[in-house]
């Protein structure tokens, strides 16, 4: 018997043995499967399962969330009552070439579409230089600084920038444009000694229908 015949013979034996084991095991596996399904069905239909409450993970992963203090509860209630309302419209602010050049120097983003007026006039589809998107974003505090959370409730200790959820720059802001910010509160969450507020900031460009920027700004106001 050569090597190839030996391999064929062993392969045939293995196939026969596999089929035999399958025939023996299949009824047992079916029985076990039906038994598990029966147990599971009876457990889920048992009335006590509806009263089952998952274990609070805070018992294992730290303390429970602290209860907001009385001031925070008042602030939360006041802000919650004005959700979706426009709470502030800023004054017009000029974005000139000096402002754009200063931002380019500070950040190192001196691409010609921002800083080279002659080239932009010839090659840019906007025919002039435009502000950096991040410059517009960085101006949001200035565009909204006149709004004071003390007007909602006094004795604010500090307001902390907590980040951004969404940011878009639908329309380019050309050098020499006037822009202003409009603020709308879209959500509020109470914590122990602060409220987390999500503001929708819309940056308008004077004389244009499309916005220069729309962003969801997240801040925490501490009392």
pLDDT tens by residue, 139-184: 999 998 767 888 888 989 999 999 999 999 999 999 999 999 999 9
How far is Cα 144 from Cα 91, in angstroms, rounded to an integer? 9
How far is Cα 66 from Cα 3, in angstroms, rounded to an integer? 76
pLDDT band at 56 (very low <50, low <70, confident <90, very high): low
How far is Cα 101 from Cα 130, in angstroms, rounded to an integer? 11
Mean pLDDT over 192-213 rounds to 95
CATH class of 70-95+139-222: alpha beta
How far is Cα 52 from Cα 56, in angstroms, rounded to an integer? 12
Q: Is the pLDDT of residue 60 over 50?
A: no
Mean residue pLDDT of the chain comes to 85
Q: Are 219 and 162 in contact (CB under 8 A)?
A: yes
Mean pLDDT over 122-150 rounds to 92
pLDDT of residue 34: 76
Mean pLDDT over 114-126 rounds to 96
Q: Is the pLDDT of residue 15 over 50?
A: yes
Dihedrals φ, ψ of 214, to 5°?
A: -135, 130
């Amino acid at each position: 018997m050569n090597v190839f015949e030996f391999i064929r013979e062993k392969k045939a034996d293995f196939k026969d043995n596999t089929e035999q084991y399958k025939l023996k095991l299949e009824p047992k596996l079916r029985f076990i499967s039906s038994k598990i399904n029966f147990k599971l069905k009876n457990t889920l239909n048992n009335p006590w399962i509806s009263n089952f409450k998952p274990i609070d993970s805070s018992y294992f992963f730290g303390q429970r969330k602290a209860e907001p203090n009385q001031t925070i509860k008042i602030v939360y209630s006041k802000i919650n009552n004005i959700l979706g309302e426009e709470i502030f419209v800023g004054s017009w602010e000029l974005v000139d070439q000096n402002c754009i050049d200063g931002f380019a120097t500070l950040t190192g983003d001196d691409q010609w579409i921002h800083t080279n007026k002659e080239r932009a006039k010839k090659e840019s589809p906007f025919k002039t230089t435009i502000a950096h998107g991040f410059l517009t974003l960085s101006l949001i505090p200035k565009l909204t600084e006149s709004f004071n959370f003390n007007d909602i409730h006094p004795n604010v200790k500090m307001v902390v920038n907590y980040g951004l959820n969404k940011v878009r720059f639908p329309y380019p802001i050309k050098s020499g444009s006037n822009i202003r910010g409009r603020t709308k509160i879209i959500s509020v969450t109470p914590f122990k000694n602060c409220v987390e507020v999500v503001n929708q900031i819309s940056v308008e460009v004077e004389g244009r229908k499309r916005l220069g920027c729309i962003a969801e700004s997240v801040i925490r106001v501490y009392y």
